[in-house]
């Protein structure tokens, strides 16, 4: 367990779900808690809603792989039984009563609205990357100016070709930005009609073209999968697609609790 500060035992919140699938006769939640052994996952109920929680010996957890995976695995198990509303990582209440009063009761209408919003839908994630060799080969083949500068620089020292190298770098950067916009837009335009909601996130690496999440209805899942496979086939190795899901709707719902709000 990797923590930054300790406290008297509080209550760590993973997500919100419908109460019915977690009634007294239901199977327990088996995913390991963020607090580690000795802190099982359980539910706090208010009317027909539950918060999925575990007792927590820490006031705050480091955002490391072990902790974030523990948080996510609980949510993913809950998703197998009910639509789910992820709660922001590191949300810790002082008590079960505080969860009932300040979260489930206070936000009752909002939480029901969000549960209806995600009902029958799941998040599908798509990250797209360029094949580096193909990218630079395509850039050179498409631009006579870039080819000319490349040939001018070839075999000469950096001192002799300082300004040409700067110019070449600027041209390549501008071309990459343009191509990223074109490729990303083309992919999103194909997939957006099959999604209920789409979110394009920030690019994480130089070779990343697209970092997107799609909220897709269950009855559209196969069609969406087929379209992603079709996109992959048509690229013939020019783009590398990394497709994951179904996932909880992390990009479309993130319940944030401010305990000091009146």
Instruction: List strands edge to edge, sheet with 239-247.
Output: 197-200, 208-217, 121-130, 239-247
Average pLDDT of span 81-89: 94
Reply yes or no on whether the pLDDT at 235 is more than 90.
no
Look at residue 88 and tell me if it is in a domain.
Answer: yes
At residue 4 the predicted structure's pLDDT band, cuts being 50, 70 and 90, is very low
Look at residue 252 and tell me if it is in a domain.
Answer: no
For the chain, what is the domain count? Answer: 2
97-122 pLDDT, tens per residue? 999 999 999 999 999 999 999 999 99
Of 87, 119, 151, the last residue of a domain is 119
| Domain hosting residue 95, numbered range | 3-119
**What integer pLDDT is reported at residue 60 of this predicted model?**
84
In a shared domain, residues 114 and 131: no
Q: How many CA atoms lie within 13 Å of 248's alpha carbon, on the beta-carbon side?
A: 28
In a shared domain, residues 9 and 91: yes
CATH number at residue 149: 3.30.70
Least confident of 36-45, 107-116, 118-127: 36-45
In a shared domain, residues 90 and 141: no
Average pLDDT of span 61-71: 92
Look at residue 262 and tell me if it is in a domain.
Answer: no
230-231-233-238 Cα dihedral, nearest 10 degrees: 180
In a shared domain, residues 18 and 54: yes
């Amino acid at each position: 367990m990797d923590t930054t500060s300790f406290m008297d035992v509080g209550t760590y919140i993973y997500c919100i779900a419908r109460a019915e699938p977690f009634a007294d006769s239901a199977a327990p939640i088996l995913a390991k808690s963020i607090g580690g052994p000795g802190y099982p996952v359980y539910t706090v109920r208010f009317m027909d809603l539950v918060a999925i929680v575990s007792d927590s010996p820490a006031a705050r957890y480091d955002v490391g792989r072990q902790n974030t995976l523990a948080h996510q695995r609980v949510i993913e198990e809950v998703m197998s039984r009910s639509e789910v509303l992820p709660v922001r990582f590191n949300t810790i209440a002082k008590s079960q009563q505080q969860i009932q009063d300040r979260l489930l009761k206070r936000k009752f209408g909002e939480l029901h609205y969000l549960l209806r919003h995600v009902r029958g839908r799941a998040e599908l994630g798509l990250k797209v990357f360029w094949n580096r060799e193909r990218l630079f080969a395509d850039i050179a083949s498409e631009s006579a100016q870039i080819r000319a500068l490349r040939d001018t620089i070839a075999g000469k020292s950096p001192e002799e070709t300082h300004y040409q190298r700067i110019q070449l770098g600027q041209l390549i950067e501008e071309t990459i930005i343009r191509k990223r916009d074109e490729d990303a837009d083309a992919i999103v335009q194909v997939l957006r009609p099959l999604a209920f909601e789409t979110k394009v996130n920030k690019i994480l690496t130089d070779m990343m073209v697209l970092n997107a999440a799609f909220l897709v209805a269950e009855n559209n899942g196969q069609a969406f999968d087929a379209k992603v496979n079709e996109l992959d086939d048509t690229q013939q190795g020019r783009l590398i697609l990394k497709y994951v899901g179904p996932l909880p709707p992390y990009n479309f719902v993130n319940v944030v609790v401010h305990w000091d709000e009146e």
